[in-house]
Amino acid sequence: MTDPDNPEWTEADFERAVGPESLPPEVLAAFPRTKVRGAQAAPTKTPISLRVDADVLERYRATGPGWQGRMNAVLRKGVAGL
Give pLDDT, residue 9: 92
pLDDT at 11 over 90: yes
Residues 6+ apart with CB under 8 A from 28: 20, 34, 36
Contact 20/36 with Cβ under 8 angstroms? yes
How many helices (H) does the chain have, and how many strands (E)? Answer: 4, 0
The most confident of the ranges 16-20, 32-36, 57-61 is: 57-61
E strand intervals along 1-82:
none
What confidence score (pLDDT) does residue 60 get? 96
Mean pLDDT of the chain: 90
Contacts 24+ apart (CB under 8 A), 56-65: none
Contact 60, 67 (CB under 8 A): yes
Q: Give the pLDDT of residue 70.
A: 94
Specify the 3-state DSSP secondary structure of 4.
Answer: coil
